[in-house]
C-alpha cells in the first residue's frame, strides 16, 4: 500500500478515517440513547415498586381506618377512609403485555372485594341491609358487633392476605419484566460498546498506520532529500545517488534531484575543465604577451608577467602609476599627443615606442592600443599589446649605419661578417643565412649549413637539456632569448657562444623568422674549466665540490660518498711518485665510469649524487671495494680504500657538512 501515490494514500486513509469516525459518533449516540433507556427502565421499575408499596399500605390503612371507625364511630376515621379510598384510584400503571395487565386487574378486583366487605361492615354498623338484588335498600337495627366480626372474619383476613400476596407477585412480575428489559438494553449497550471499542482500536491503528506511512513515505524521504540538498549545497562534487524508497511524488522528486545532481556534476566538471584551460591560456598570455591596461586617466591597472620582465619593474612598482615612468627621453611628446588624440576618440592607435627599463637600458616595442568598454558601453580604460622589436631595431640601426657609410659600409659589413657570429633562420628554425665567423667557428661550409637546422652543431651534452625548449618557448612568443650554449664543430671540438636570439619581422610587422647574434666565449669557458678541474686526473677539484655543496644545501636532500686511500703518503714515498700518480689516475678513471660528478683532493675522492640516485650508493661502494692496489706494507697486501656517506640537507649548515666530508690529515 505504501507504493501508491501520496495523493491516493491521503484520499484512501482520509476517507477511511472519516467513515470510522462518523460510525464511532453514531455508535456513541446510540449507546448514550440506550443508557437513557436503561435509566428510564430502572426509574420506572422504582416508581412501580413505590406505587405497589403505596397500594399495599393504603389497603392496610383502609382496613385499620374501617375497623377504628366501626369501633369508635368517629367521623375523623370516616373522613380519612374516604380520602385514602380516593387515593387508591389515583394510582395507574402502563402495561406492555396482557399477562402483566391481567395480574393487575386481578389485584384491583381483590381490592375492590376487600373494600366491598368494608362497605358491608359500614352498612351493618348503621343497620343498612341488602335486598334480594344485592342492593342496600332497607334499614334495620344496627349490628356493630356483626360489623366488627366481618372486618375480623376469616374471609376478610384471607382476602387481605390474598391481596398482599397478589401485590407481591405483581411486584415480582414487574421487577422481572424490568430486569429483562434492562438486561436486553445492557446487552445492546455491551454489544455497541464492543463495536465502539473495536472501531476505536481500528481508528487508532489506522491513525498509527497513517502516522507510520507519513513518517516512512513522506517525512523520512523528505528529510533524506533535504539533507542531501544541504550536503550538495556545501559540496557540488557530491555524486551520491539518493535511494528511491517509493515510486510516488517524492520518489519522482528524488529521481529528478539525482538527475539534476548528475547534470550539475557533469556541467561542473566541464566548467572546471574550461576554467583550467582559461587559466592556462591566461597564464600563457600573462607569461608571453607584453600587455597592460589602464583606467581612462592612463593609470596602470594591470600588467602581464612578460611586461614586468621586459621593463624590469615589479607589479607593485607599476600598478597605480602612469606609463611615463618607462618613457624614454628620446621619444617626442608629439607621438604621445597623437596617441591620446586617437584613443580618446575611441579609435585604435598603433606605432613603435622606445621605452626605458628600470636599470636605465632601453627597449623597443611595436604597440597597439585600443579602448576598453563596460557592458553598458561606457569607456572604462585602455589596453595595450606589445611586441619586443629591440633586436630588430638594433639590426635596422646597424643596417642604416652600414648603408650611410657608403664605401666603408662594405668593409664594415665584411668585418661584422668576419667577427660577429650570427645566423638567420625561417620560422621552422631552418638556416637561411650565416656570417663568415659562424662558418669559421663551426668548421662547416655555408652550403653545408644553409637549409639545415642548428642541430647540426648541437653538442651531445645538450641532447637531453631543456635549454632548447626554453629557447623556443621564448622566441615563438616574440620574446628575446639570451644565454650560453655549448656547440660542437665539424671536427668534433667543443666551443661556447654567448647568444641572443630574437624574432625577425618585415616592414609590415609580419614575423618572417629568427635572428641570432653570438659572441665566442670558448676561451673564457676553458679558463673557468681549468680552475675547477684537477690537473692530474681531469676530475673536479675540492673547491668546486664546496661550491656544489653550497648549492645542494638549498635542496631537500642529496648525498656525498667520500673515499680515502689510507696510508697513501707512505705508499707514494715507497713506490715513487710516478706509480702513485698512476694509481690516482686509475682510481679516478674507475670512479668516472661509475658517475660523472667526481671530485678529488689529494688521496681523497668524492662523488656527489642527487636524491633520486640514492639506490646507486651501495652499488658504487661495492664496485670501489673491488679495486685492488698491491701494497706489501699493508696487512692485507693491498692499499685500503675507506669510504663514508654524508647526507646533505637544508637542516645542516655548510660547516657541519664540510666537517663530515673531511678525513682530517690524509
Strand-pairing partners, residue 500, are: 482, 517
pLDDT band, residue 42 (cuts 50/70/90): confident
What is the DSSP secondary-structure string of 264-332? HHHHHHHHHHHHHHHHHHHHHHHHHSEEEEEETT-BEEEE-HHHHHHH---HHHHTTSBGGGGB-TTS-
As a whole-number percent, the residues of the chain with pLDDT over 70 amount to 91
Which segments of 458-522 are extended strands (E)?
A: 481-488, 494-505, 511-520
Higher local confidence (pLDDT), 80 or 547: 80
pLDDT of 12 reads: 81
- How crowded is residue 230: how many other Cβ atoms within 10 Å of its Cβ? 10
pLDDT of 455 reads: 87
Higher local confidence (pLDDT), 50 or 89: 50
pLDDT, tens digit, 9 for 90 and up, residues 87-142: 655 556 566 667 777 887 888 888 888 888 888 888 888 877 776 677 766 677 77
Kindly tell me if the per-residue pLDDT of 666 is higher than 60: no
pLDDT band, residue 394 (cuts 50/70/90): confident
pLDDT of 192 reads: 87
pLDDT of 276 reads: 80
**655 with 569: CB under 8 angstroms?**
no
**292 with 300: CB under 8 angstroms?**
yes
> What average pLDDT does the segment 400-413 reach?
61
pLDDT band, residue 437 (cuts 50/70/90): confident
Higher local confidence (pLDDT), 492 or 554: 492
pLDDT, tens digit, 9 for 90 and up, residues 581-624: 999 999 999 998 998 889 998 888 999 888 888 889 999 999 99
Kindly tell me if the per-residue pLDDT of 514 is higher than 70: yes
pLDDT of 467 reads: 84
Tell how many helices (H) and how many strands (E) occur in the chain: 21, 17
212 to 221, 252, 395: CA distances (angstroms): 13, 20, 90
Ramachandran area for residue 360 (φ above 0: left; ψ -120 to 50: alpha; else beta): left
pLDDT, tens digit, 9 for 90 and up, residues 269-284: 787 787 787 777 777 7
The rounded mean pLDDT for the chain is: 83
**331 with 353: CB under 8 angstroms?**
yes
First to last CA, the chain: 96
Judging by beta carbons within 10 Å of its beta carbon (0-12, 13-18, 19+), is residue 216 exposed, middle or buried? middle
pLDDT of 203 reads: 84
Which helix or strand (DSSP H or E) is residue 386 part of? strand 379-388
CA 122, CA 82: separation in Å to the nearest integer?
12
Shortest CA distance to 500 belongs to which of 522, 519, 520? 519
pLDDT of 548 reads: 77
Amino acid at each position: 500500500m505504501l507504493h501508491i501515490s501520496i495523493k491516493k494514500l491521503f484520499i484512501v486513509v482520509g476517507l477511511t478515517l472519516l467513515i470510522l469516525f462518523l460510525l464511532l459518533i453514531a455508535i456513541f449516540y446510540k449507546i448514550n440513547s440506550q443508557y437513557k433507556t436503561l435509566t428510564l427502565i430502572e426509574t420506572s421499575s422504582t416508581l412501580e415498586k413505590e406505587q405497589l408499596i403505596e397500594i399495599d399500605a393504603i389497603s392496610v390503612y383502609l382496613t385499620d381506618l374501617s375497623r377504628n371507625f366501626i369501633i369508635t364511630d368517629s367521623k375523623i376515621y370516616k373522613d380519612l377512609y374516604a380520602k385514602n379510598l380516593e387515593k387508591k384510584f389515583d394510582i395507574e400503571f402502563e402495561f406492555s403485555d396482557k399477562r402483566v395487565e391481567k395480574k393487575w386487574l386481578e389485584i384491583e378486583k381483590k381490592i375492590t372485594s376487600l373494600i366491598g366487605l368494608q362497605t358491608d361492615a359500614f352498612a351493618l354498623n348503621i343497620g343498612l341491609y341488602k335486598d334480594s338484588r344485592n342492593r342496600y335498600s332497607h334499614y334495620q337495627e344496627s349490628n356493630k358487633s356483626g360489623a366488627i366480626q366481618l372486618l375480623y372474619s376469616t374471609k376478610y383476613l384471607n382476602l387481605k392476605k390474598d391481596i398482599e400476596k397478589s401485590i407481591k407477585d405483581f411486584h415480582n412480575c414487574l421487577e422481572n419484566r424490568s430486569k429483562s428489559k434492562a438486561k436486553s438494553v445492557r446487552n445492546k449497550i455491551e454489544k455497541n460498546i464492543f463495536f465502539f471499542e473495536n472501531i476505536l482500536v481500528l481508528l487508532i491503528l489506522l491513525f498509527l498506520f497513517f502516522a507510520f506511512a507519513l513518517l516512512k513515505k513522506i517525512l523520512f524521504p523528505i528529510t533524506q532529500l533535504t539533507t542531501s540538498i544541504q550536503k550538495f549545497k556545501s559540496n557540488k562534487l557530491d555524486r551520491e545517488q539518493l535511494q528511491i524508497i517509493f515510486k510516488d511524488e517524492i520518489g519522482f522528486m528524488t529521481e529528478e534531484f539525482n538527475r539534476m545532481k548528475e547534470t550539475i556534476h557533469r556541467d561542473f566538471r566541464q566548467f572546471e575543465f574550461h576554467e583550467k584551460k582559461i587559466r592556462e591560456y591566461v597564464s600563457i598570455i600573462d607569461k608571453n604577451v607584453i600587455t597592460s591596461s589602464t583606467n581612462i586617466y592612463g593609470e596602470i591597472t594591470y600588467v602581464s608577467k612578460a611586461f614586468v620582465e621586459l621593463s624590469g619593474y615589479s607589479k607593485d612598482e607599476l600598478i597605480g602609476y602612469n606609463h611615463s615612468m618607462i618613457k624614454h627621453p628620446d621619444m617626442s611628446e608629439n607621438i604621445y599627443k597623437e596617441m591620446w588624440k586617437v584613443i580618446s576618440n575611441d579609435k585604435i592607435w598603433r606605432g613603435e615606442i622606445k621605452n626605458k627599463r628600470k636599470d636605465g637600458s632601453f627597449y623597443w616595442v611595436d604597440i597597439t592600443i585600443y579602448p576598453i568598454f563596460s557592458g553598458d558601453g561606457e569607456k572604462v580604460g585602455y589596453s595595450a599589446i606589445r611586441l619586443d622589436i629591440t633586436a630588430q631595431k638594433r639590426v635596422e640601426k646597424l643596417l642604416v649605419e652600414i648603408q650611410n657609410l657608403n664605401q666603408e659600409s662594405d668593409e664594415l659589413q665584411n668585418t661584422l661578417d668576419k667577427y660577429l657570429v650570427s645566423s638567420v633562420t625561417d620560422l621552422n628554425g631552418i638556416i637561411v643565412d650565416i656570417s663568415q665567423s659562424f662558418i669559421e667557428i663551426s668548421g662547416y661550409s655555408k652550403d653545408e649549413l644553409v637549409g639545415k637546422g642548428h642541430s647540426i652543431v648541437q653538442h651531445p651534452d645538450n641532447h637531453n637539456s631543456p635549454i632548447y625548449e626554453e629557447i623556443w618557448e621564448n622566441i615563438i612568443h616574440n620574446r628575446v632569448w639570451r644565454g650560453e650554449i655549448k656547440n660542437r664543430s665539424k671536427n668534433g671540438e667543443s666551443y661556447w657562444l654567448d647568444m641572443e636570439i630574437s624574432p625577425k619581422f618585415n616592414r609590415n610587422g609580419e614575423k618572417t623568422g629568427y635572428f641570432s647574434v653570438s659572441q665566442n666565449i670558448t676561451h673564457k669557458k676553458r679558463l673557468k674549466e681549468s680552475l675547477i678541474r684537477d690537473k692530474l686526473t681531469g676530475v673536479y677539484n675540492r673547491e668546486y665540490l664546496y661550491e656544489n655543496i653550497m648549492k645542494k644545501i638549498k635542496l631537500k636532500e642529496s648525498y656525498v660518498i667520500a673515499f680515502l686511500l689510507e696510508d697513501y703518503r707512505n705508499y707514494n714515498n715507497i713506490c715513487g711518485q710516478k706509480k702513485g700518480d698512476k694509481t690516482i689516475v686509475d682510481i679516478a678513471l674507475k670512479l668516472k665510469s661509475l658517475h660523472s660528478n667526481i671530485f678529488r683532493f689529494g688521496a681523497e675522492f668524492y662523488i656527489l649524487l642527487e636524491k633520486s640516485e640514492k639506490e646507486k650508493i651501495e652499488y658504487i661502494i661495492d664496485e670501489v671495494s673491488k679495486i685492488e692496489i698491491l701494497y706489501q706494507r699493508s696487512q692485507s697486501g693491498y692499499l685500503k680504500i675507506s669510504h663514508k656517506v654524508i647526507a646533505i640537507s637544508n637542516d645542516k649548515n655548510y660547516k657541519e657538512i664540510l666537517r663530515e666530508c673531511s678525513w682530517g690529515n690524509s
